């Protein structure tokens, strides 16, 4: 996760990750939640 966040800062890229680990999802600047293939939440 630190590598992806570093690339985001240094190269202005937008990495996309998928996780079921709630300890990792709080490290991102934006979170989109899906349930059964449908978007159920969007937040910054």
Please state the pTM of the whole predicted model: 0.53
* 17: Cα separation from own chain's centroid: 5
* Alpha-carbon Rg for the chain in angstroms: 11
Q: Which residues have a Cβ under 8 Å from the Cβ of 40 and sit 6 or more positions away?
A: 33, 34
pLDDT tens digits for range 5-38: 888 889 988 888 888 888 877 777 788 888 999 9
The pLDDT of residue 40: 92
> Using 50, 70 and 90 to split pLDDT, how confident is the model at 44?
low
Per the model's pLDDT, the better-predicted residue between 29 and 39 turns out to be 39
Question: Hey, which residues does 32 pair with through a beta bridge?
Answer: 42
- pLDDT at 11 (0 to 100): 93
Q: What is the pLDDT of residue 36?
A: 94
CB 35 within 8 A of CB 24: no
């Amino acid at each position: 996760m630190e590598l992806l966040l570093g690339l985001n800062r240094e190269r202005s890229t937008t990495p996309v990750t998928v996780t079921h680990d709630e300890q990792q999802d709080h490290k991102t600047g934006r979170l989109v939640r899906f349930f059964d293939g449908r978007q159920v939440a969007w937040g910054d």
